[in-house]
Amino acid sequence: MPKKVDHRERREEIARALWRVVEQQGWNRATMREVAREAGASLGQVQHYFSTRTAMLTFAMEFAAEHTSHRVAEGLAGVAHPRDVLRVTLAEMLPLRPDSRATSRMNAAYVLEALHDPELHTRLRDELREKRAIVEHLIRQAIADGHIPADRDPAVETNLVLSLTGLTTLLELDVIEPSAALAAIDQHLDRLFVRPPRSGSAARADRTG
Amino acid sequence: MPKKVDHRERREEIARALWRVVEQQGWNRATMREVAREAGASLGQVQHYFSTRTAMLTFAMEFAAEHTSHRVAEGLAGVAHPRDVLRVTLAEMLPLRPDSRATSRMNAAYVLEALHDPELHTRLRDELREKRAIVEHLIRQAIADGHIPADRDPAVETNLVLSLTGLTTLLELDVIEPSAALAAIDQHLDRLFVRPPRSGSAARADRTG
């Protein structure tokens, strides 16, 4: 079905144009008209693919989330220990590289937009609850497998792991370096897990993406 | 100088109107015209107090930061232990109550705006570096006083404490309850400090420091 593929490709091109507008000019400027200009398309063409600005933003966010999942999956190739799974996942959620920075900024803007848009709020809430449940499942399994001490509270530990995304603001404002963010993540995970799979900071630095 | 006081009061009224617009309609709608409408003033009156939208946003942010400092100072009355100082400070930075929610949202929007505005970026970076230095100083002092184990890295621990503001997104999207955010903060601080001032749970026993 080449037509369907083209449709999808064209929507993705528009989504990428939207990312660039958000990255360079900010969320406020991400109107359908400006995105059309950036994509080298007419406003009518963009409106053909997305009936509303919200539909365009939603698709761009979902596409960004797919990209993040893809990067996480790539980072997890050959990784089995739950400590490494959490480390790779957290590192990809932080704005440490151009691609993760773009999706991180999209996400921050989207969360802000959701605060006064009930439909977006429900959608984002459900997505984040689902992600949180996956992390809690991983932590419960790590406790069952003896990787995390049995007296840890899985719900509390899940919230603490997810709170590490709060390093985003420090990174975006150049208050700390990427290496400091990774050191903080490693320190937290070292205290969460019984035994880090690899010891020594040198070995850990090698895994830096 | 009553005239100067009036000027300040009028600017604060406009800043409060801006907060309400941001809270209810989002940052995008916070134009000088919309803020004037919310404040019951004319556009010309708002322009008399603020020459540009950026000047208005900056004043509103500084006013919000003052409010946060004031709330923290109130919360710290009679508090001396560094663990409690960090707990009160973190709790006031999270959107747990209407007033801290308003300032938290203002702040999130402002950070996003700073990503494509070099002047705002520099200003916010300097402010956040200053706040970070205060927290690191507190942690170094707590290590010197024996409240935090001597083998902890003050810079890493500072970044971990500040990363707890990452609970904001989970709270704003109703993924976790305020009580869960406070439990996560308590758990983190229990593991950071040698002796929690409040009697905790068996969780203390698993401290690895």
Determine the average pLDDT of the residues in B106-125: 88
Predicted local confidence at residue B195, as pLDDT: 67
Name chain B contacts of A26, Cβ cutoff 8 Å: 112-113, 115-117
Determine the distance in angstroms separating the CA of B134 from the nearest CA of chain A, rounded to an integer.
Answer: 13
CB contact under 8 A, A163 and B155: no
Give A44-78 pLDDT, tens digit per residue. Answer: 999 999 998 888 888 888 888 888 888 888 888 88
Q: Residue B63: its pLDDT value, please?
A: 87
Are B111 and A174 in contact (CB < 8 Å)?
no
Q: Is A80 helix (H, G, I), strand (E, B) or coil?
A: coil
Does the structural domain B1-51 have CATH classification 1.10.10.60?
yes
Task: State pLDDT tens for residues A34-44.
Answer: 999 999 999 99
pLDDT of residue B67: 85
The pLDDT value given to residue A198: 53
DSSP track, A136-187: HHHHHHHHHTTSS-TTS-HHHHHHHHHHGGGHHHHHHTTSS-HHHHHHHHHH
* Cα→Cα distances A90→A167, B1, B86, Å: 10, 54, 24
Asked if A166 and A160 touch (Cβ cutoff 8 Å), the reply is: no
CB neighbours (10 Å) of residue A207?
Answer: 15
**The pLDDT value given to residue A129:** 96
**DSSP string of A29-76?**
G--HHHHHHHHT--HHHHHHH-SSHHHHHHHHHHHHHHHHHHHHHHHT
At B207, the pLDDT band (50, 70, 90 cuts) reads very low
Residues of A within 8 A of B166 (CB-CB) are: 162-168
Name chain A contacts of B53, Cβ cutoff 8 Å.
none
B-chain CB neighbours of A28 within 8 Å are 27-28
Beta carbons of A180 and B116 less than 8 Å apart: no
Which of A151, A175, A191 to probe the B interface (max B CBs under 10 A)? Answer: A175
Q: Cite the residue boundaries of each domain of chain B with CATH code 1.10.10.60.
A: 1-51
Task: Give yes or no for residue A7 having a pLDDT over 50.
Answer: yes
CB contact under 8 Å between A156 and B180, yes or no, is: yes
Q: Report CA dihedral (A151, A153, A156, A160) to the nearest 10 degrees.
A: 40
- Residues from chain A contacting residue B191 (CB–CB below 8 Å): 191
A165, A154 in Cβ contact below 8 A? Answer: no
Instruction: Kindly identify which residue of chain A lies nearest to residue B105, measuring between CA atoms.
Output: A112
Token pair belonging to B90: 């973190």
Residue range A53-206 in CATH 1.10.1270.20: no
CB contact under 8 A, A175 and B125: yes
Closest to B206 (Cβ–Cβ): which among A27, A116, A152?
A152
Which residues in chain B have their CB less than 8 angstroms from residue A153's CB? 183, 187, 203
Instruction: Find the CB nearest B170 among A26, A116, A159.
Output: A159
- Out of A174-178, B2-6, B10-14, B179-183, pick the least confident: B2-6
A105 and B111: CB-CB below 8 Å?
Answer: no
Residues of chain B with CATH 1.10.357.10: 53-206
Please give the single-letter amino acid code of residue A21: V
Which residue in the set B125, B162, B170 is minimally distant from A162, CB to CB?
A: B170
Whether residue A151 and residue B27 make contact (CB cut-off 8 A), yes or no, is no
ipTM: 0.84
Q: Which residue does chain A place closest to B187, by CA atoms?
A: A156
B132: which chain A residues are within 8 Å (Cβ-Cβ)?
Answer: 170, 175-176
Contacts of A156 in chain B (CB under 8 A): 180, 183-184, 187
- Range from A193-207, B9-23, B186-200 carrying the lowest mean pLDDT: A193-207
Contact A191 B188 (CB under 8 A): no
Tens digits of residue pLDDT in B132-146: 999 999 999 999 999
Confidence (pLDDT) at A37: 96
Q: Is the pLDDT of residue A163 over 80?
A: yes
The whole-number pLDDT of residue B209 equals 37
Residue B128: C-alpha distances to residues A81, A85, B107, B121, B176 (Å): 35, 30, 11, 10, 26
Answer whether B156 sits within 8 Å of A128, measured CB to CB: no
**Nearest residue of chain A to residue B183 (CA atoms):** A156
**Range with the poorest average pLDDT among A138-147, A156-165, B54-63, B140-149:** B54-63
- Dihedral of CA atoms A129, A134, A136, A141 in degrees, nearest 10, equals 160
Contact A115 B105 (CB under 8 A): yes
DSSP string, B11-76: HHHHHHHHHHHHHHH-GGG--HHHHHHHHT--HHHHHHH-SSHHHHHHHHHHHHHHHHHHHHHHHT
Question: What is the interface size between A and B, counted as CB pairs within 8 Å?
Answer: 151
* Contact in structure between A54 and A120 (CB atoms under 8 Å): yes
User: DSSP code of A109?
Assistant: H
Average pLDDT, chain B: 87
Please give the Cα distance from A151 to B202 (Å, whole number).
8
